[in-house]
Amino acid sequence: MTRQLRLAYGIQTDVGRKRERNQDNVTSNVPEEADVLEERGALFVVCDGMGGHAAGEVAAELGVRTIREVYFASQGQDVITSIAQAVKAANDAIYTLARNHTEYSGMGTTCVTLVILGGRAYIVNIGDSRLYHYAKPRGSAEAGVRENAPIVKGTTPLAGTAPLVNSEAPVPVVDTADVSTDPVVDRDEFTLVQVSVDHSLVHRLVELGQLDPEEAKVHPHRNFIYRSLGGPPPIEVDTFVRTLQPGDRMLLNSDGLNSMIEDDAIQGVLASAADPGAAAQQLIDLANEAGGHDNITTIVIDISGYLPLPEHPTALNNM
């Protein structure tokens, strides 16, 4: 029986209608070598740079490049630890460059990183770039809550979060040897869930009950974030694990998308666009039509098959 990860994805990035430079950066790596794909999975990263003239571009580019290189060079570690160490390495690289070159002083970047492996999505985020999961509701056991234990030294999630819940339900297996074409997906029962957490002032105020969600949308400090890559180590990140099913869609994006359009509009595109590349472009178009106040980056990923979790015993080590 042949079982393999099967997915399709589309990536778009756009400067928007108000900015002169695009300080977003994006990378993907779906290894062509079957053994590498089986061992490390598929990687997707979105970084949204911040800083003075060109500095944000440098931070975002250095962030995605370092994460990609360090993740695929890591060996003998569980997936979340490997991603977190790659993100930590990106922070150290950005911080060191800024300290050694005054023209880059104060630069930084948000980051959301996704690895798809063994029927699960492994996510690390810092800042306010987002990851959405568009799928049938999984129930509380599949809520993708944040892990409570440290990931690597100096890299921990938010204090006081709930323990990670791992579902005991078996992960369905897709036998791609007998599948000639991808099945038609009925997304009528799908819902959109924001998995990542915005490390922004307004989101924190909403969590504390000090600000209404509608007020947060127009708050004068809505763009202020309290975590990003580029600060002095150690850093803190949030980690998540989601179980995947064939037909699921994942969306990674910079805040230039969700600051312009509501989640209902995002869900509408993910529900109606048959092709992930078309969906990624339609989301860009909607954000620009709404004003395009920032750079906009989207990655839309469709899951059609995967290696089953039991074939990856190291995937959940130490969790």
pLDDT in tens, 205-218: 556 565 556 555 55
Q: Averaged over 290-311, what is the pLDDT? A: 83
Residues near 122 by Cβ (< 8 Å), separated by ≥ 6?
Answer: 41, 79, 80, 83, 114, 115, 116, 239, 240, 241, 315
- Give the pLDDT of residue 284: 98
Of residues 138 and 16, more confidence is placed in: 16
How far is it, in rounded angstroms, from Cα 173 to Cα 307?
7
How far is it, in rounded angstroms, from Cα 260 to Cα 311?
41
Q: Return the CATH superfamily for domain 6-174+188-311.
A: PPM-type phosphatase domain (3.60.40.10)
- Give the pLDDT of residue 188: 79
How far is it, in rounded angstroms, from Cα 76 to Cα 35?
15
Q: Averaged over 228-234, what is the pLDDT? A: 95
Residues near 132 by Cβ (< 8 Å), separated by ≥ 6?
Answer: 192, 193, 194, 195, 250, 251, 253, 263, 266, 270
- Identify the helix (H) or strand (E) that includes residue 277: helix 276-289
How far is it, in rounded angstroms, from Cα 41 to Cα 301?
14
Q: Averaged over 29-43, what is the pLDDT? A: 93
Q: How confident is the model at residue 201 (pLDDT cuts 50, 70, 90)?
A: low
pTM over 0.75: yes
Reduced to 3 states, what is the DSSP secondary structure of residue 259? coil
Please tell me what DSSP assigns to residue 232: S
Q: Averaged over 277-302, what is the pLDDT? A: 98
pLDDT in tens, 232-273: 999 999 999 999 999 999 999 999 999 999 999 999 999 999
Is residue 168 scored above 50 in pLDDT?
A: no
Half-sphere exposure of 25 (CA within 13 A, CB side): 23
Residues near 170 by Cβ (< 8 Å), separated by ≥ 6?
Answer: none
How far is it, in rounded angstroms, from Cα 52 to Cα 139?
44
Integer distance in angstroms from the first to the last C-alpha of the chain?
29
Please tell me what DSSP assigns to residue 145: P
- Give the pLDDT of residue 162: 29
pLDDT in tens, 113-157: 999 998 899 999 999 999 999 999 876 444 444 433 333 333 333
Of residues 113 and 163, more confidence is placed in: 113
Task: Evaluate whether 228 touches 200 at the Cβ level (below 8 Å).
Answer: no
Tell me what percent of the residues of the chain surpass a pLDDT of 70: 72
